[in-house]
Amino acid sequence: MTEVREKGYHHWDGQLEDRRQVFWPITRTGIKLAFERRHFKLLFSMSFLPALAYGGAIYISERLEDFKFIAQGSEKSFQINPAFFKSYLTMEFIYFIILLLLSLGGAGLIADDFRHKAIQLYFARPIRKLDYLLGKAGVVMFFVGLLTIVPGIILVVLKLLFSGSFKFFLNYPWLILSIIFYSLFLMIFFTAFVLLASSLSKNRNYVIAIIFGLYYLSEIIRGILYTIFRSPYSALFSFRANLQQVGAGFFLTNKPYGLPWYLSFIVICLFCLFAYYVVNRKVRGVEVIK
Amino acid sequence: MSIELQNIHFSYGRVKALKGISLSIDKGATGLLGPNGAGKSTLLKIMLGFLTPDQGDGQVLGYNLRTEQQFIRRQIGYMPEDECFIPGMDAVSFTALMGELSGMPRQEAMKRAHEVLFYVGLGESRYRLTDTYSSGMKQRLKLAQALVHDPKLLFLDEPTSYLDPTGRQEILELIGEIASAKDIRVLICSHILADIEAICQQVVIINRGEVAAVGRIEDLRMVNYELYELKIKGELELLRKELEAAGCRVEENEERVVKVYTPPEFDHRQIFKAAARNRIQVRQFVRSQTSLEDLFARVVGVD
């Protein structure tokens, strides 16, 4: 690398590249900026506690004799089957920690660009709107993926390692695919959810309020509708209930709200399409020059 | 030619923003002027490839306006008017990111970011968060990000706004150097006509979606009118009426200097004859240098 020249303007003698993954610098920057936010690293490390607990549960399940004093009366909790993995990925706490993490690290993804008018800096470059949105989506997907797909697969590997045989894998050969596809589903949903919220305001504090407000408001609506009508279909109004329903569908377990899981899948897909439509309308390259 | 437009038309619904803009811009610095709503922004949007003209065609740096918009943006450096940055980033990372987005390899972009930040005078503070920069520093940062990928054409939108007189002078010198010695074409949009006059050799004036004037500033001054400054004793109104009837524009400033803008082919002796007819003494008569402000006012038709 040649030394940096201090004085005067010099032409750059390199060649501009036709990059395929134009979104990557945006994603990388977004991830880096998230880690630089106050308390983010602490929260990020704490978000792996459930995965550690589940890893511990897998270890104990293979050594039940040694851990009788812990497992006494709750042997069922230490049965490792698809429901065990589903319970990790559909746990309320996981959804909450994802929302918390994304509130700190993802709320400003588009909102900050609106607020500080950075959007025009991006679009004055040879990038398309899709590249910009993919770059921002990559940040959310990275964090959601780290809390879903990565621990999910590591837990399966731990199970195989601790049991010392492939019996579990042969019993449930589809489990890995369920983990991957449900994690991808969660990644897409949370990406749509956070980017939608982030595009609705220029103020990241309002975005955080929108993220939590929207999520828990849907739960409150479900509760009210269920109280009035006593209908299982009220679950379709709740993000959490729909995610858990789809999770049960992917892992072939009992549906928690007694509805066909594909209805929830359709609701979430429609929401993602709506979010894409709104974000696509909000982010406009032509606004570069006012 | 760096920019060549032929008969560009563009409408926002029923509102016609551009009505047959044709122009050619080559080397050096060019000022883009026009009153608010004249169509400057629409023209810039078309040149950056964000809008496709309804009619007409053109090329920017040899790339077609309609089909090669991405290539155009790769070769252009754009410095927006607004104060814009990415919060939480230091200047060098920010500038390097902009270079990367333009297609520079990551390491090269970082190295180049250091260089351009030194060039615009932010070398010492390049590791500071951009959030903490003053308005003047942000202005320089915007210039740095526009230069990082070594563009062939620079679009500068109000480059000296938010700057104190010293900062303004420094930025103007930088832009002047880039335009004259560095083989980079510069297109400047500014309301500060003195800035345009200081840097640009040529100017494009747009009014009501049409090109009202285009060419070298010197030539336009000659073509459009001449200016005479007079000091008189007597009633100005009588002289004013007679000269205005002959197609001149007459203004009087606070120091009671009368400025007479005469149309082309106007014989300046007619001023003396008109004064004599109205019994007015002409105590001083100077052929004056017209400013860009005068030219702009004349072409656009405002005072």
Average pLDDT over residues A267-290: 84
> Residue A42 pLDDT more than 70?
yes
> Residue A234 pLDDT more than 90?
yes
Distance (Å, rounded) from C-alpha A280 to C-alpha A284?
Answer: 7
Contact B87 A18 (CB under 8 A): no
Distance from CA of A29 to the nearest CA of B (A): 8
Average pLDDT over residues B105-121: 93
> Residue A289 pLDDT more than 90?
no
Contact B182 A26 (CB under 8 A): no
pLDDT in tens, A148-174: 999 999 999 999 998 888 888 888 999
Q: Give me the numbers of helices (H) and strands (E) for chain A, helices first please.
A: 15, 0
> Residue A23 pLDDT more than 60?
yes
Beta bridge pairs of residue A76: none
Contact B119 A8 (CB under 8 A): yes
All structural domains of chain B, each given as residue ranges with its CATH number in brackets, are 3-220 (3.40.50.300), 225-300 (3.30.70.100)
Q: Which of B73, B87, B183 sits opposite A116 (nearest CB)?
A: B87
Per-residue pLDDT at B266: 83
Average pLDDT over residues A213-236: 95
Calculate the average pLDDT of chain B: 87
Q: Is B191 in CB contact (< 8 Å) with chain A? A: no
Q: Which of A25, A37, A112 sits opposite B101 (nearest CB)?
A: A25
Specify the amino acid at residue A66: D
Q: Give every strand in the sheet of B153-157, ordered side by side.
A: B76-79, B153-157, B185-189, B29-33, B202-207, B210-216
Calculate the average pLDDT of chain A: 90
Per-residue pLDDT at A48: 94
Interface of B with A in 78-107 (CB under 8 A): 78, 80-89, 93, 97-98, 100-107
DSSP A8-54: S-----S-----S-TTHHHHHHHHHHHHTSTTHHHHHHHTTHHHHHH
Average pLDDT over residues B133-158: 91
Contact B118 A124 (CB under 8 A): no
Q: Which of B48, B150, B157 sits opposite A12 (nearest CB)?
A: B150
Q: Which of A9, A115, A286 sits opposite B51 (nearest CB)?
A: A286
Per-residue pLDDT at A73: 65
Chain B residues closer than 8 Å to A114 by CB: none
pLDDT in tens, B69-99: 888 999 999 998 888 899 999 999 999 999 9
**Domain extents in chain A:** 24-59+76-288
> Residue A24 pLDDT more than 70?
yes
- Which stretch of A216-230, A260-274, B142-156, B203-217 has the lowest confidence by average pLDDT? B203-217
Interface of B with A in 43-62 (CB under 8 A): 44-45, 48, 50-51
**Which residue of B69, B86, B129, B130 to mutate against A (max A Cβ within 10 Å)?**
B86
Residues B101-134 as b or e (16 or more Cβ within 10 Å = b): bbbbbeebbbbbbbbbbbbbbbbebbeebbeebe
For residue A176, give the H/E element and its range.
helix A175-199
Q: How many CB atoms neighbour CB A23 within 10 A?
A: 21
Q: What is the 3-class SS of chain B, one letter each residue?
A: CCEEEEEEEEEECCEEEEEEEEEEECCCEEEEECCCCCCHHHHHHHHHCCCCCCEEEEEECCEECCCCHHHHHHHEEEECCCCCCCCCCEHHHHHHHHHHHHCCCHHHHHHHHHHHHHHCCCCCCCCCEHHHCCHHHHHHHHHHHHHCCCCCEEEEECCCCCCCHHHHHHHHHHHHHHHHHCCCEEEEECCCHHHHHHHCCEEEEEECCEEEEEEEHHHHHHHHCEEEEEEEECCHHHHHHHHHHCCCEEEECCCCCEEEEECCCCCCHHHHHHHHHCCCEEEEEEEECCCHHHHHHHHHCCC
Size (chain A), residues: 290
Average pLDDT over residues A229-242: 94
Closest CA relative to residue A37, chosen from A143, A127, A117: A143
Q: Which of A125, A286, A288 sits opposite B101 (nearest CB)?
A: A125
> Residue A1 pLDDT more than 50?
no
Q: Which of A1, A120, A125 sits opposite B111 (nearest CB)?
A: A1
Identify the closest residue of chain A to B70 by CA–CA distance.
Answer: A126
**Which residue of B101, B124, B143, B177 to mutate against A (max A Cβ within 10 Å)?**
B101
Query: Which two tokens mark A13?
Result: 């003698």
Predicted ipTM?
0.86
pLDDT in tens, B168-193: 888 888 888 888 876 789 999 888 88
Contact A125 B102 (CB under 8 A): yes
Contact B107 A112 (CB under 8 A): no
Identify the closest residue of chain A to B144 by CA–CA distance.
Answer: A9
| Maximum C-alpha span of chain A | 77
Distance from CA of A287 to the nearest CA of B (A): 9
Residue B215 — very low, low, confident or very high, per pLDDT cuts 50/70/90?
confident
Closest CA relative to residue B207, chosen from B8, B30, B39, B11: B39
Rounded (5°) CA angle A241-A247-A253? 105
CA distances from B277 to A165, B240, B267 (A): 117, 12, 16
Beta-carbon contacts of residue A205 (< 8 Å; ≥ 6 apart):
none
- DSSP letter (8 states) at residue A285: G
Per-residue pLDDT at A46: 93
User: Angle, to 10 degrees, between the axis of helix B106-119 and the axis of helix B135-147?
Assistant: 130
Chain B residues closer than 8 Å to A6 by CB: 118, 123
Q: Is B71 in CB contact (< 8 Å) with chain A? A: yes
pLDDT in tens, B52-65: 899 999 999 999 98
Three-state secondary-structure class, residue A207:
helix
Distance from CA of A21 to the nearest CA of B (A): 10
Identify the closest residue of chain B to A24 by CA–CA distance.
Answer: B101
Per-residue pLDDT at A2: 47
**Percent of chain A at pLDDT exceeding 90:** 69
